[in-house]
Amino acid sequence: MRVNWIPIKIIVLLLVLAGLFGFANYRVNSKSIEDIQIKFLGDNNLYLTEEAVNKLLIQNHGSVKNRSKDAIILNDIEEVIEANPMVKNAQVYLSVKGELISEIQLRKPIARIAGVDQFYLDDIGERMPLSKYHSARVPLITGKISGEALKDVYKILEHVNLDEFLRKNIIGIHIEDKGSYILKLRLENFEVRLGGAEDLDHKFKNFIAFYLKATKDKTLNAYAAISLEFDNQVVCTKL
């Protein structure tokens, strides 16, 4: 009776390969971490530093460098980094060269709140603490600060940030009583009375059209206030 050796050879080969893979994997995991890299993703990377992240890791996990790879729990490190109020999300992984790499995306402030408490409003409408490393150049929010008012402010800024002209020219929003808002401009002395946070598309389109025409006519300096509060109208108050 002839024995078919081919299946047996295949099984033996697979066992040998599995053993080699397991041994190689063991060798890789038993190696120590040779270096730590902190990478901030995107251009919004000024509100936290590599030194601060390394200090955070040391405080929670001790020195990570020179520890064996299999002693490191990557999810725990991600959770520690993401617990920092400046961090939006983090991904931590090990490279084949023995590096512990942390890729971090920071939160993005879109306004600074100047109330009893000082803080930022981020790009999803959540409160964000000020950073000791960098001060963001964003519109300043003043006046009657409240949770409901900040929802309106976020809605207004969403529209502002979609338009280059508005984004460059609006540097502040003042909150008045009863949900009424005043826009502060970068170069002009007059204020823009927006009214409520409804019908913003029409209000901003009307304002841009007025501004461009008044610039062409060289009449901007004649106004003390511009009101967008009335339906489909721009009402001007002269000095």
Contacts of 217 (CB under 8 A, 6+ apart): none
CA 213 to chain CA centroid, nearest Å: 36
pLDDT of residue 24: 44
pLDDT tier at 31, thresholds 50, 70, 90:
low
CATH class for the region spanning 32-106: alpha beta
Burial level of 60, CB count in 10 A (0-12/13-18/19+)?
middle
User: Which of 84, 94, 86, 89 lies closest to 57 in space, CA to CA?
Assistant: 84
3.20.20.80, 1.10.1750.10, 3.40.50.11690, 3.30.30.10: CATH of 109-238: 3.40.50.11690
Average pLDDT across the chain, whole number = 85
Question: Measuring CA to CA, how many Å separate 208 from each of 5, 76, 168, 205?
Answer: 83, 50, 12, 5
Note if the pTM is more than 0.95.
Answer: no
Average pLDDT over residues 117-130: 95
pLDDT tier at 45, thresholds 50, 70, 90:
confident
Q: What is the pLDDT of residues 51-109, one digit of tens each?
A: 999 888 888 777 766 666 666 778 888 999 999 999 999 999 888 778 888 999 999 99
pLDDT of residue 164: 95
Cα–Cα distance measured from residue 43 to residue 131, given in angstroms and rounded to the nearest whole number:
16
Catalogue the E-assigned strands of 58-149.
87-94, 99-106, 109-114, 118-122, 127-128, 140-143
Domain chopping of the chain, boundaries: 32-106, 109-238
* pLDDT score of 211 more than 60: yes
Higher pLDDT, 233 or 136: 136
Contacts of 149 (CB under 8 A, 6+ apart): 143, 175, 179
Place of tokens 């009335």: 230
